[in-house]
Amino acid sequence: MNLPLNDPSLLKNQGYLNGEWVNGDSGDTFPVFNPATGEEITRVANMGTIDTRRAIDAAKAAMKEWQKKSAKERSTVLRHWYNLIITNQEDLAVIMTSEQGKVLAESRGEVAYGASFIEWFAEEAKRVYGDVIPTPQTDNRAIVIKQPVGVVAAITPWNFPNAMITRKVGPALAAGCAIVIKPAEETPLSALALAKLAQCAGLPAGLLNILPSKNSREIGAEMTGNPFVKKLSFTGSTPVGKALMKRCSDTVKRTSMELGGNAPVIIFDDADLDKAVAGAAASKYRNSGQTCICINRILVQDTIYDAFVEKFAALVKTYKIGNGLDKSSTHGPVVNKTAIGDIQVLVDEALEKGAVAIVGGKPSDQDGYFYEPTILTHVSDSMRVFREEIFGPVAPIFSFSSEQEAIAMANDTEFGLASYIYTRDQGRVWRVSEAIECGMVGVNETAITSEVIPFGGIKESGQGREGSKYGLDDYLEIKYICMGDLHA
Ligand SMILES: NC(=O)c1ccc[n+]([C@@H]2O[C@H](COP(=O)([O-])OP(=O)(O)OC[C@H]3O[C@@H](n4cnc5c(N)ncnc54)[C@H](O)[C@@H]3O)[C@@H](O)[C@H]2O)c1
Ligand SMILES: O=C[C@H](O)CS(=O)(=O)O
């Protein structure tokens, strides 16, 4: 399948290992499909254990020189890479829409968002400060320096195939580390195109290694078991994150976990209703609901429930699902056929328990993996759509009476990634923001992410933070040096 690219050389189908484009040791390949059409885009090298081991060895060797460079030298390379990503934004967006499905406008936005992490950490690289601590003794001083954690392994998901790569590679390289990445098997092309641009930017060989593969378990086993890997950064589902954390404990690796969500939005009766409708819809149906911080449960105060449902349904009915490269499409497909089935199981379970699909409720009849934007009313917390991450364009709308009931519903989950509140009562903003158990809160806003904020969750949504001034810490180790014999 030919993609409409200005630079066709960005469409890579080999692994990127030690600065070279290579086929997997097995010589095997796997297909990458366009979810809007079901067509095969290309076949990609299927990397395995031997390739992973080679990549880790290359990263270990390359890191020796990289960590000796000055922060400014590392920053300069990252800045050049950022400039190349922005210059090639349109091609990167077309590649993303073709393999992941999101509409082109969202893909363009993700490329810019992904690039912002490279820009941000090009700057943060120069601000890895330490401490000089006055000690209780008079003849010594305590010095604290920060050093790179070591070789990083990373595993990333298909829903943001560009930004989930750069949100890890940016801080890793800025800190002086080298990194080996396995992207999702559904969307390797975005990662490979980023590697091509990093190569063009002069990033030294071995610092960035991309291992496309269908053998995720096999590669994960090597990444989590190899003693030269000092940190695993994972973004994906909570069950997989738990398994990887367990494996990492064998060699006491540091881990960063960006896992599943079950975000509530709480809409109080003093909210600006039109803003709440627009914000809730934008979050819920962003990337066709395949976003970790998508609203998963809409909680509306009972006094405004009917008014909210009427406005929300009127907006959702205007959506046009279709191929993301078609300018008239507002929303794209879901990632594959399995996702269609998973979503339908959740919807059917709710319907069997009394829910009503006032909009949608089934797959679209057009070719490709399309699910109709769906709204469910008459829902309850006994349904799976209350407890599980839907990861599709389905909006269950629950009602509540009091602030206390809303907080209890919001917190009634093992997840704790993002939450959203619509109210114009400042006292309520503080009470509810502090009471909700999560890592990020949007108040009268659902577009809450950028490179400057600490992205991450609590409970079973993960550990660590990506982006912001905090993001570099996950790739650094603190070393304390006692400077004695001061009066020698
Ligand atoms: N918190 C965040 O920042 C964030 C961001 C994006 C997605 N997510 C979460 O990711 C999930 C959706 O993405 P997904 O379907 O790709 O998740 P997933 O966990 O199925 O896969 C994520 C990655 O892990 C790999 N993988 C799967 N099983 C593995 C194993 N046993 N060993 C090693 N690697 C394995 C996959 O190949 C993929 O690269 C959702 O739960 C979503 O909430 C979280
Ligand atoms: O799906 C997960 C992403 O992290 C969401 S965002 O692009 O960071 O908002």
The residue annotated as part of the active site, out of 258, 372, 451, 466, is 258
| Atom 39 (ligand 1) nearest CA | 184
Instruction: Give the ligand with the smallest distance to the CA of 282.
Output: 2
Q: Which residue's entry shows tokens 């954390």? A: 245
Q: Yes or no: say if 464 and 299 are a contact pair by the CB < 8 Å rule.
A: no
Domains of the chain listed by start with CATH number: 8-259+462-480 (3.40.605.10), 263-450 (3.40.309.10)
Q: Which atom of ligand 2 is nearest to the CA of 110?
A: 7
Q: Which atom of ligand 1 is nearest to the CA of 261?
A: 43
Instruction: Give the ligand with the smallest distance to the CA of 257.
Output: 1
Give the separation between CA 283 and CA 372, rounded to whole angstroms. 16
Complex-level ipTM beyond the 0.85 threshold:
yes
Choose one of 100, 293, 461 to mutate for the ligand 2 pocket test, by most ligand atoms within 8 angstroms of C-beta. Answer: 293
Q: Which atom of ligand 2 is nearest to the CA of 159?
A: 1
What spacing in Å lies between the alpha carbon of 463 and ligand 1's midpoint? Answer: 15
- Strands 20-22, 15-17: parallel, antiparallel or unpaired by DSSP? antiparallel
Choose one of 238, 292, 391 to mutate for the ligand 2 pocket test, by most ligand atoms within 8 angstroms of C-beta. Answer: 292
Of 228, 248, 255, which is closest to residue 64 (Cα–Cα)? Answer: 228
Please work out whether the CB of residue 261 comes within 6 Å of at least one atom of ligand 1. yes
Please work out whether the CB of residue 237 comes within 6 Å of at least one atom of ligand 1. yes
- Strands 179-182, 151-155: parallel, antiparallel or unpaired by DSSP? parallel
Please work out whether the CB of residue 369 comes within 6 Å of at least one atom of ligand 1. no
Choose one of 445, 455, 468 to mutate for the ligand 2 pocket test, by most ligand atoms within 8 angstroms of C-beta. Answer: 455
What spacing in Å lies between the alpha carbon of 260 and ligand 1's midpoint? Answer: 8
| Atom 4 (ligand 2) nearest CA | 292
Q: Yes or no: say if 468 and 454 are a contact pair by the CB < 8 Å rule.
A: yes
Look up 258 and say whether it is catalytic.
yes
Please work out whether the CB of residue 258 comes within 6 Å of at least one atom of ligand 1. yes
Give the separation between CA 190 and CA 97, rounded to whole angstroms. 10
Measured from CB, residues less than 6 Å from any atom of ligand 2 are 159-160, 163, 291-293, 449, 455
Taking the alpha carbons at both ends of the chain, their separation in whole angstroms is 73
Q: What is the pLDDT along the chain (488 residues), one digit of tens a residue?
A: 789 999 999 999 999 999 999 999 999 999 999 999 999 999 999 999 999 999 999 999 999 999 999 999 999 999 999 999 999 999 999 999 999 999 999 999 999 999 999 999 999 999 999 999 999 999 999 999 999 999 999 999 999 999 999 999 999 999 999 999 999 999 999 999 999 999 999 999 999 999 999 999 999 999 999 999 999 999 999 999 999 999 999 999 999 999 999 999 999 999 999 999 999 999 999 999 999 999 999 999 999 999 999 999 999 999 999 999 999 999 999 999 999 999 999 999 999 999 999 999 999 999 999 999 999 999 999 999 999 999 999 999 999 999 999 999 999 999 999 999 999 999 999 999 999 999 999 999 999 999 999 999 999 999 999 999 999 999 999 999 999 988 76
Q: Which atom of ligand 2 is nearest to the CA of 455?
A: 8
Give the separation between CA 287 and CA 422, rounded to whole angstroms. 22
Of 418, 365, 375, which is closest to residue 258 (Cα–Cα)? Answer: 418
